[in-house]
Every structure is written in C-alpha cells, then in structure tokens.
Amino acid sequence: MTWINGQFQSSLPVSDRGLAYGDGIFETIVCINQKLHLWFRHWQRLQQGAKQLVLELPEQQTLLNWIEQALADKNNPSLAVVKIIITRGSGGRGYKCPEQPQPRTIITIHPWLEHNDNDYQQGISAIVCQTCLSLQPALAGIKHLNRLEQVLAAQELLANNCREGLMLECAPAANDTSAKKIVTEGVSSNLFFVSRGQLFTPEITYSGINGTIRSELLERAQALGIPLATGRYELQEILNADEVFFTNSIFGILPVSKISYQQGQNSRHYQQRDVSMQLAKSLNPELQRPCQFNTL
C-alpha cells in the first residue's frame, strides 16, 4: 500500500515531524500509461519547497525509481494518481530540527478520479469562502503540509454542497473594515479569469500554491497568443469578468458557471468560454478530461 524511502510499509512512526508540525511537502501527480503528467513541473515545485524549508530531497532518479516500484505493485494501472509526501523525518527537540535529519519519502498510489462530464460542459458553481488565506511569504508558492486553511474552507464547500470556492487573502489585523478583498486561488486549485480577451491569474507571492497547471498555462497562453497578466486582483474584478476557470493537476481546466457571494445572497453567472475552451483543448485531453463546453 505504502512505500517509505523505497521500502514497503504499512504505516509511519508517530515521531515523524510531518505529523507533529506538518514539516514537509507533497505532490499529487496524474499517471497516464506509466507516464507522470508534467513531472518536471512537480519536481521543480518539490525543489522549490525543499529550498524554502531547507529540506533535503532524494535524487530525482531515486524518487522516480521509488514511484515506478509503487506503481508496479499496483500492476501499473493505465490511470492512477501518485501521491508523494516528503517529511523531515523524526527527531529534533521541539520545533528545532535534528542535526542530521533523515527525511522520509512516502509514496501512495490512488485511483484516478472519474469526472462528471457535466462539470466540464456546464461549468461548476463556486462560493466565496469565509476562510481566508493568511499572508506568509516564506511559505507561499510551495505545496507544504500545513493545510488547515484549506481543510476549513473545504468544510464550507461541503456545507454549501459546492465543488470549489474562491479564497481571499486575510485582511490585515489592524485595518479590517477598509481592507480590499483580494482573491488568491481556489480551495484546491488556481484561478484564472478573462476580461475583454485578456487572461489574468493572481500572483502567488504572499499566499497560495504555484500550481503545475498554472505554470503550464502561463507558457501555453503565450504560445497561443493569449495576452496574460498576473497581479493582485479584487473579488469585484472576478465578478466583472467574462470567463472564470479553475485549474489543478487532477481535473485540468474546469470552467465556472456561477459564483455565489455575500454569503449566497448574490450570484454572478458566466456563459462565455472562448479563452478557457482554447486552453482546455490544448491541455485537458492530456489528463483524459473533456474540453467541449456547452456554451448554452
């Protein structure tokens, strides 16, 4: 079931710092016909995470061997999701790291998630979450194991029977009332929007995760001649946009048909799909996800 540093294991020592402090990073990667989708981007993000946390990674080839071994144990399914967790291992006194950390790389193989064609054709409904994303430049961008904000936001999604939600930056403590509502990303995805033919996505500088599909689209948009900007955008700009879509490494590009805001009192519907369809045609088939939207 689980491989730790290349050894078949059923469980983890409770002394692991991944459990104690969330002291580690992770990736979830779609594997199609024994090929890891956008592996180099996942590896780049692992390297960035290791740099920010001062954490030692295994060699790239060692990690790939361990993944191959774990997949072989599942008879190499043609579609699967590989989850990698790399922790700082056990030890240290309190929060302090041990002098010679022995990191653990934990690999588990999960079933590919079936999609609902309707989500891609009609688009999904999203809420604006009450749970905000705190500003922490030292942790922004990387996929670390401190994810309670996402867990709390996902509880809101469950309560609203919603698949995704927009997460705003937390307002500064001193100045709550006049604070701008800056959108960072989705609960488990990045966010893009289109206004007058231009594509925008929030910068990931103070909070949020640098998604692999997000990075990929930054390049593909350029290749497709779609003008793209990154920056700090207010919720109102997204509500005024022509198109909105979410991206992640599992579902690819998923259009948004509706955003409910002001705690569900108001909503905005989106019908245009020009740019998102163009990008989805380029990317979604690689993840075996649909790219034909009903434009209604």
Closest contact distance (angstroms) between CB of 128 and a copy of itself is 15
Write the CA distances from 142 to 97, 194, 244, integer angstroms. 20, 25, 24
Q: Look at strands 198-202 and 228-231 and give their pairing.
A: parallel
Given the rule CB under 8 A, which of 36-44, 88-96, 193-201, 256-264 is the region that contacts a copy of itself?
Answer: 88-96
Under rule CB under 8 A, residue 134 binds a copy of itself: yes
If DSSP codes are grouped into helix, strand and coil, which group holds residue 30? strand
Cβ(260)–Cβ(213) below 8 Å: no
Output b/e per residue, 170-192; b: 16+ Cβ within 10 A: bbeeeeeeeeebbbbbbbbbbbb
Closest contact distance (angstroms) between CB of 26 and a copy of itself is 7
Site for a copy of itself in 145-174 (CB under 8 A): 145-155, 157-158, 169-170, 172-174
Cβ(47)–Cβ(60) below 8 Å: no
From 10, 33, 100, 178, residue interacting with a copy of itself (rule: CB under 8 A): 10
Under rule CB under 8 A, residue 15 binds a copy of itself: yes
Under rule CB under 8 A, residue 19 binds a copy of itself: yes
Largest pairwise CA distance in the chain = 61
Given the rule CB under 8 A, which of 68-76, 80-88, 215-223, 280-288 is the region that contacts a copy of itself?
Answer: 80-88
Binding site for a copy of itself (CB under 8 A): 2, 4, 9-23, 26, 53-54, 85, 87-88, 94-97, 106, 108, 131-132, 134-139, 144-155, 157-158, 169-170, 172-175, 180, 182, 187-188, 205-206, 232
